[in-house]
A and B are shown apart, each in its own frame.
Chain A
Amino acid sequence: MAVIRINDLKVRTIIGAHDWERVNQQELIINMTIEYDASKACRSDDLKDALNYEAVALKVIKITRRSRYALLERLAGRILGSVMSDRRVQAAGVRIDKPHAISQARCVSVEVNGDRARV
């Protein structure tokens, strides 16, 4: 099993329940872990056999930019669902940091996890 980690992916979008959050985009920082069976890719050195993390990241950026959710939980769940829709993915975790949720805190985070074995 291989673990892909996408660290500190920064995306601006509309997110939040406050009035000002409905008209002002803010930066979110997304961290993900994706577990998949990479044994074939380890042998072949062929991108076709690997989980293309660049494509995953671009999809996550697209989903996030287009989203207009009130809750981080909803966005994190949406991203997790997208990642898990690739049948090769065995487990994944998505953590979203919202730096401007609370001024005195560095950020507020919501994390969701999925594990195909537990479904």
Chain B
Amino acid sequence: MTGGAKRLGRQVALHLARQGYQIALHYHNSKVEAMATAAAIYKMGVRCELFPCDLADETQVLKLMPEVFQAFRHLNILVNSASIFIPNRFGAGDLKLFKTHWDLNFKAPYILSCEFARLVKKGQVINFIDTNVVKNKTSYADYLMTKKALMEFTKMAAVQWGPHIRVNGVSPGMILPPVNGQPDDRSQRAGKIPLRKTGDPHHILQTVQFLLENDYITGQIIANDGGENLV
């Protein structure tokens, strides 16, 4: 579980732990939050081990899945939840942000998924995408490009790794308040989407659960967004 220390990643980790899944919890900068999440999982009597790794560092990412596999021989789910989203528009002036977005939001889940498929005989990958991937907004240009790529990768990987590995995606909409000091305009935006309301983490957990249980689904991206992607 990448990015399992906080926000939706934490909710998914706790949800899986509640069902008895042992958790390999990745974090990078969020050590305090990761240890708090792990402590909550220990209280359930469930195994949870922490794997610090800078997902922007290819060398570290390449080592991560083999390390996890060594500790968890019955590994069967990979959740790629970690990502960054920083507003920017296209422009070649500063490629640092471009590189960080691609390294973290696409290259890392790509490498981890490939390593997962190589090491695990039967399992499932769930990629966290974004409901905006079907649109072409440019306020988070680099971020959105990486998520669009992750969506296509999810479909192609499903083709290549079937029947043993299923690969699916979840596209959250307005579930949690934004980070990076961005204004929380969800209630205003929610009025413009078909279901006229914001979502809750439990909606995402229901989708994750559905993907875990339905073994006739692969290569699908499920938008959990109150219909936001349609308008």
Contact = CB atoms under 8 A, between A and B. Distances in A.
B134 interface: no
Interface string B21-44: 000000000011001101100100
Contacts of A104: 32
Main DSSP-derived SS at the A contact region? loop
A24 interface: yes
B36 A26 contact: no
A26 B39 CA distance: 13
A99 B52 CA distance: 10
A56 to B, nearest CB: 21
Contacts of B70: 12
Interface in B70-112: 70-71
Contact of B35 (A23, A25, A103): A103
Given A99-B52, A103-B31, A25 B71 contact: yes
Nearest to A107: B31
Interface in B165-199: none
A23 B49 CA distance: 9
Nearest to B36: A103
Most buried by A among B36, B42, B51: B42
Interface string A88-112: 0000000000011001100000000
Main DSSP-derived SS at the B contact region? helix
Contacts of B32: 103-104
Most buried by B among A20, A24, A99: A24
A37 interface: no
B47 interface: yes
Contacts of B71: 12, 25
A73 interface: no
Interface in A62-119: 99-100, 103-104
Contact of B42 (A24, A27, A99, A103): A24
Nearest to B34: A103
A84 B49 CA distance: 32
A12 B52 CA distance: 12
Contacts of B50: 26-27, 100
A33 to B, nearest CB: 25
B52 A25 contact: no
B47 A27 contact: no
A24 B71 CA distance: 9
Interface of A: 12, 19-20, 23-27, 99-100, 103-104
Interface of B: 31-32, 35-36, 38-39, 42, 47-52, 67, 70-71
20 contacts: A12-B49, A12-B67, A12-B70, A12-B71, A19-B42, A20-B39, A20-B42, A24-B42, A24-B47, A24-B48, A25-B49, A26-B50, A27-B51, A27-B52, A99-B31, A99-B52, A100-B31, A100-B50, A103-B35, A104-B32
